[in-house]
Chains A and B, each alone.
Chain A
Amino acid sequence: MVTLDELTGLGLLQKPSEDAREPLERRESNYHPLNTFALPKDRPYKQQFADIYFLRLTKIKPAVEEHSIAAWEGTVLGGERAKKVERVLDVRQGELCWVVGTVYMDMPLKPSILEDVSRDRWISAPMNIDKYYSNDGSDSVMLEDDSGRIRLVGDSLKDYFLVTGCIVAVMGTENANGEFDVIDLKFADLPPQPDRWSLSSPPKHQDVKMTGDPSSSPSKKIAIVSGLEFSGSSTAYTTELNLLLEYLLGETLGPNEQSELSQISRLILAGNSIAEPKEHLANTLPTTKPTDTKENVLLAKKPFAKKYGYDASSYNPIPSQLLDTFMSELLPTIPITLLPGTFDPANASYPQQPIHAAMFPKSRTYAAIPGTDEKPGWLDTVTNPWEGEIEGWRVLGTGGQNLDDICKYVDSSDRLGMMEAMCRWRCSAPTAPDTLWSYPFQEDEPFVMKECPHLYFVGSQPEFGTKIIEGAEGQMVRLVLVPSFSATKEIVLIDTETLDVTKIKITA
């Protein structure tokens, strides 16, 4: 409870003072992006997707086995000793055993490529189903590997999130119906976590190290914003966007807060910076002026000329222009990492490749010159998912599609729990390529988490959330659900020393 009277005459609510205002210097960002999810420019798309599952199983299986052996080796149930079975097909009825494989969810509501093919539909449209999960028990969980597939049953399955593509070890017996009755279930758990500053070198002046002395120097912060959704038609929250801009620039607020704001050393735009395109109104034809050149008149004559089903006249450049302007105002004082999201002008399939800097005529001068590897650009347009090291912390971030897709598989809205599950599965996009469109990888499966991030954020989420999870080997991961700014008007600040999270809400 604050009243105006208490504040009047203080700070900025007083006559202009002539005290010298020293400009604050924004703190330096120690930034080391990784190219984990970058695809070659000349990638072919002819391969089959099966290799992704194979690679994933091969990569994660050893870790899962290790955990299972530790947990189940020597387990005796009902006078029977559990033994390890190499392949799913080797499971014998009635024998207590455990086996490692890939989960496959068979769900009637889930889009199925086989169905599409059998119906002679060769092009699949993006799905807009909210949930694949159905409550009527028609969903079933399978475990498969390169040898075969077995259906999993048992109450213990309900205790875990399970989605297509995650690697699990199950212990139990095959029952009379040929189903595998699961008694217990294990994941790979958190991968090994690199030390801080494993890729980059810490700043020379070590005053901000974790000395536990907060007075030495305030710690730097990272700002994460998702879902700016610059729109060509809606101006509903333009004021909030302006306030956000002024906030990040440090122009708003008083001197104390400004010096805090100068600690924000990097801005991450985590997906959906551009709004979902609205259906184009067919009758918004461009009107020709008499002064128009010949070419323009020609163009105007056939406004419905479509190429490959694309109506060029429906192109609205305003959203990207607004985003460009927004970034170009911020860039002089703060470096930006830009991840694409569902609606952004990047490829639709995971991993999304960087938004081309040509989209941003004003901001692109801050981007790295293509083909030079020296330093990451001041404006760094990166992949989604993206991995890198900021202030020494390993950071993994996505635009949100991976989590949104997992959400459709389960009867829950516990998104933090699903994020945690992803870390424990060691897979940042398990549902690719089943329901999350993905590039058909052949040699590498980049979604497998080889190293445990310190900070894992997921953008474009309905609401904010954060928590810390811990692993058996002392790993600690800060999970952050970055809310969509367009919906919540919230942004997230991460302290780069403690990984503490602060939420900023902007209302107008």
Chain B
Amino acid sequence: MEKYMEWLANNVLIDDKVVSYRVLSRALKVHVNTAKQMLYEFHRSQNAKHAGTIHATYVVYGVKTADAQNNGADDDVEMAHSGSESQSIPDVVPTYTLSLVAEEHLKDVLAEYDEVSSIHIYSVAPRPTKDITLLSDVATGIEGLSLEEHDKKIVPITNSRVRRRERKAAGIRAAAAAAPVKNQVEPAPKKSGPVPPGPSKLREELKPDPTPPKEEKAAAPEKPAAAPVKKPAPALKRGASSGIMQAFSKAASLPKKEKPAETSIQPLSDDGEDDGEDDEEMPQPKPRAKAGVKSKKEREEELRRMMEQEDEVKSEKAESEEPEPMEEEEPPAPEPVKEDEGPSEVAETSNGRRRGKRKVMRKKQIMDDQGYLVTIQEPGWESFSEDEAPPPQKVKPNPPPAAPAPSKGKKGAAKGQGNIMSFFSKKT
């Protein structure tokens, strides 16, 4: 007995299944037409042994006799003629009928045909097919098969011109599916990661505060603090706060080289946050050679200085009255930088005007080599001039009521948007 006979016997006689030619051809990887013949042979030989053990359904294709064709259509035509308009006579066209019939009715159906151009067995089953619509269940089972492997050996008609578009998204989607899981698992490590002692405290405080005004403030001190901890990457904190935090972490991550592997695996997590497992890598940040980026030490140093100064300013403020609530809010961050200017300021006085240059921290957005926008701070010199004779430096933060506007503006600008300084500073 040949292989297909065995297979059919197993499936039809033993497993009690309905097998269609499509199922058979895909199971045995044979051409559909061969499968049809196999079904026929199986049906014939089995029934020769024991009549009535196998029941088949047939597909019949051909032209039906005129009578049979008109059976259905006649009524419609009659109705149409009842219309008052002169009826357009439709062309008579050749009609081919494809019928799926159970073996029991095959004779009757064949009698309706004038000409049968094709007939073959559709399926075999161990019992008569009462309801032919049940065969659709057999068909649905092979959807997957026919889709995946479009085997030229099986399918009679192929098309080499088929065009599909590249599924660029496939990779991303896979990564996306994987990424969130990872992130969910590892939120903890991130927070409790290697936190550097002093500065990190500040960072922890600042971080959760995403309000825009604070951004500047946070950004400045954070940079040094974050450096050791932060790594680009994780999609971890994708929530509301991530927008701002990203910016920070971006800046912080500057000194490090992003691991290429990381990015390739997680195309979606490019929002610059850490991935948790990166923490291991933290301790040895690779310095990135980039203009204007200070070394870690430098920046730690700077931060410390800022912190001290900030405290200073705060106490000053407290004792020396006043300002509009706004000022309280905004200046703190820039202040450190400003105070800085004391030492780093070169000024000369003439005509009651003070002119000179001072060192300020400027924010700068650059695109790094991976195409991310990164905000960094770099020291720069800017020229200034002031009306007043050089007031004692300490006074500056709290100028007399008349002056606050300009000086405040200047300050705000200096910290917030460095560039705008040029607008406020008087050009001599």
Contact = CB atoms under 8 A, between A and B. Distances in A.
Interface string A339-378: 0000000000000000000000010011111000001011
Contacts of A504: 95-98
Given A23-B158, A333-B162, A239 B135 contact: yes
Given A257-B117, A331-B162, A333-B159, A16 B37 contact: yes
B132 interface: yes
Contacts of B41: 14-16
Interface stretch (B80-88, B248-256, B368-376): B80-88
B401 interface: no
Contacts of A410: 85
A11 B59 CA distance: 13
A67 interface: no
Nearest to A372: B165
B320 interface: no
Given A242-B136, A507-B97, A13 B120 contact: yes
A235 B137 CA distance: 11
Given A412-B83, A466-B90, A506-B98, A2 B163 contact: no
Contacts of A506: 97-100
A425 B427 CA distance: 76
A332 B159 contact: yes
A254 B95 contact: no
B110 A2 contact: yes
Q: How large is the interface on B (under 10, 10 to 19, 20 to 34, 35 or more residues)?
A: 35 or more
Nearest to A508: B100
Interface in A49-78: none
B136 A238 contact: yes
A83 interface: no
B80 A413 contact: yes
Given A246-B22, A412-B85, A507-B97, A253 B59 contact: yes
Interface string A399-416: 000000000001111101
Contacts of A377: 163
Nearest to A245: B139
Contacts of B155: 23, 249-251, 333
A158 B83 CA distance: 12
Contacts of B147: 328-329, 362
A503 B157 contact: no
A158 B110 CA distance: 47
Interface stretch (B27-35, B222-230, B280-288): B27-35
Interface of B: 4, 21-22, 31-34, 36-38, 40-41, 59, 61-62, 65, 73, 76, 79-80, 83-91, 93-100, 106-107, 110-111, 113-122, 132-133, 135-136, 139-140, 143, 146-147, 150, 152-153, 155-165, 167
Interface of A: 1-4, 7, 11-17, 21, 23-26, 28, 158-159, 161, 235-239, 241-243, 245-247, 249-258, 261-262, 325, 328-329, 331-335, 362, 365-369, 375, 377-378, 410-414, 416-417, 420, 462-463, 465-468, 500-508
Given A1-B65, A13-B37, A420-B88, 18 more contacts: A7-B116, A12-B40, A14-B40, A239-B133, A243-B100, A246-B22, A246-B139, A328-B147, A329-B147, A362-B147, A413-B79, A413-B80, A416-B88, A417-B85, A467-B91, A504-B97, A504-B98, A506-B97
5 contacts: A3-B107, A11-B118, A12-B121, A252-B61, A254-B33
